[in-house]
Amino acid sequence: MHPLLKSRAAAVLGRLGVVALLVVTAGTLHASASSAKGAARIDRDVFGHLADGTTVYRYTLTNGHGMRVRIITYGGIIQTVEVPDRRGHPANVTLGFDNLDDYVANNSPYFGALIGRYGNRIANGRFTLDGVTYQLPINNDPNSLHGGTVGFDKHVWDATPVHGRDTVGVKLRLVSPDGDQGYPGTLTAEVTYTLTASNGIRIDYRATTDKATVVNLTNHAYWNLAGEGTGDINDHLLYLNAKRYTPVDSTLIPTGAIDPVAGTPFDFTKPTAIGKRIRESHQQLIFGHGYDHNFVLNRKTAHKLELAARVTEARSGRVLSIYTEEPGIQFYSGNFLDATLVGTSGKMYRQGDGFALETQHFPDSPNHPNFPSTVLRPGQVYQTTTIYQFSTTH
Ligand code: GLA
């Protein structure tokens, strides 16, 4: 922007206590918002093109407090999350790829992706709603996983930058037509990623429908707080605010039971190293090839943001705290990473090189009347928020 225009814009907006500059030129976008606490900005570049020519953009959110987050419009994927350690040195703490082709070709790990319409599994890909039975694609034999063969993680979302007083974000929108992947109703989904001044990534999910349907949106980021590609996460200390979990059958579908974690390798009510009990010959760990289970969060309120999980990595001092309005969280210890994929920094990923904590309603809820309902009806608004909050120990 011309320096004169820039200073005029700054003068006008500065009176509001916020400085916001926006420049849109052919194919690039740069915007910034600064306050007394530091400069936040949004940049956009072209990440790549799909085979049909569709442009995939990448939004880079920077908060002026040492954090930088990159989101791509394909799958609403969180590509990188750079976070300072206790000495202020940044590392990228999320697993992913450095190019679009790898995301398109290797969709099975769902790195950083938005998951919809239904996070996790629906037994035999079938559910009945208001007396009608719906059949979904079986993409994780014999079940339907993460919204089906072409879930929300494989769509290009419309994106709009969002500026707050000291936050920057990107709002993504996707309209899923009636019958998409077998699900009833036109579902209009909006997901807003916001990078806060206090080093949090806030994710606001919203959806509406024109026919009764089921919805369970989440994000599938994998974390390694020592830095992506540095090794496994077995030494990370995990605290889960959950006294109960939902055990599964051999196909990872909940049996319907809600069991106490006490006295089992699923008890993370005190911070415990992820790897400490992961090789115990517990039937549930054998079914999951490690942890791949939904935990029932202890909640004081029905829908407010409450602490669900906290993960600490001792050497870097990085801490990830997850707050959510959801009733459950899927703890997945990266069991299916199998040394076939090379990540963002050029390192190959092996089993346990990252963990996911997916805030959600319970898997297969449409087939379990005793689980919190995932039904959304016309006129209702599905709205839920999760925050990934980063900090350091001293
Ligand atoms: C979820 C599932 C896992 C696995 C991963 C993706 O966490 O519960 O079983 O499918 O997604 O690989």
Ligand 1 neighbours, Cβ below 6 Å, are 108-110, 120, 145, 252, 292, 330, 332, 336, 356
Question: Has residue 252 been placed in a domain?
Answer: yes
Instruction: Indicate the helix (H) or strand (E) that contains 273.
Output: strand 272-273
Q: Is residue 83 part of a domain?
A: no
- pTM strictly above 0.85: yes
Residue to mutate, 106, 153, 286, 336, ligand 1, most ligand atoms under 8 Å from C-beta: 336
Q: How far does residue 218's CA lie from ligand 1's centre (Å)?
A: 12
**Residue 22 pLDDT more than 70?**
no
Q: Quick check: is 328 in a domain? A: yes
Nearest CA to ligand 1 atom 7: 332
Distance (Å, whole) CA 344 – CA 9? 38
Nearest-atom index, ligand 1, CA of 332: 7
pLDDT value of residue 18: 38
Under DSSP, is residue 332 helix (H, G, I), strand (E, B) or coil? strand
Tell me if 119 is assigned to some domain: yes
What pLDDT sits at residue 394? 84
Ligand 1 atom at minimal distance to the Cα of residue 336 = 12
Residue 335: predicted pLDDT:
97
Residues spanned by the domain of 262: 98-156+173-392
Rounded Cα–Cα distance for residues 382 and 208 (Å): 6
CATH number at residue 211: 2.70.98.10
**Cα–Cα distance, 41 to 63 (Å, whole number):** 7
Task: Tell which one of 143, 332, 361 to mutate to probe ligand 1, the residue whose CB is within 8 A of the most ligand atoms.
Answer: 332
Instruction: Identify the pLDDT of residue 11.
Output: 39
Catalytic residue among 163, 220, 293, 361: 220
Count structural domains, the chain.
1
Q: Which one from 190, 228, 358, 361 is the annotated catalytic residue? A: 358
> What is the spatial distance between Cα 248 and Cα 242, in angstroms, rounded to a whole number?
17
Q: What is the pLDDT of residues 150-196, one digit of tens each?
A: 999 999 999 999 999 999 999 999 999 999 999 999 999 999 999 99
Q: Is 358 a catalytic residue?
A: yes
According to the model, what pLDDT value does residue 382 have? 98
**Does the residue 74 lie in any domain?**
no
Any idea of the CA torsion for 67, 95, 100, 218, to the nearest 10 degrees?
Answer: -80
Taking CA atoms only, the protein residue closest to ligand 1 atom 12 is 109
* Span from the CA of 119 to the centroid of ligand 1 (angstroms): 9
> Which of 139, 146, 341, when mutated, tests ligand 1's pocket best, judged by the most ligand atoms within 8 Å of its CB?
146
| Mean pLDDT estimate for the chain | 92
Q: Is 289 a catalytic residue?
A: no
Mean pLDDT, residues 94-114 taken together: 94
Ligand 1, residue 330: give the atom nearest the CA.
7
Amino acid in position 56: V
Residue 344 in any domain: the answer is yes
Is 88 part of a structural domain of the chain?
Answer: no
| Structural domain includes residue 57 | no
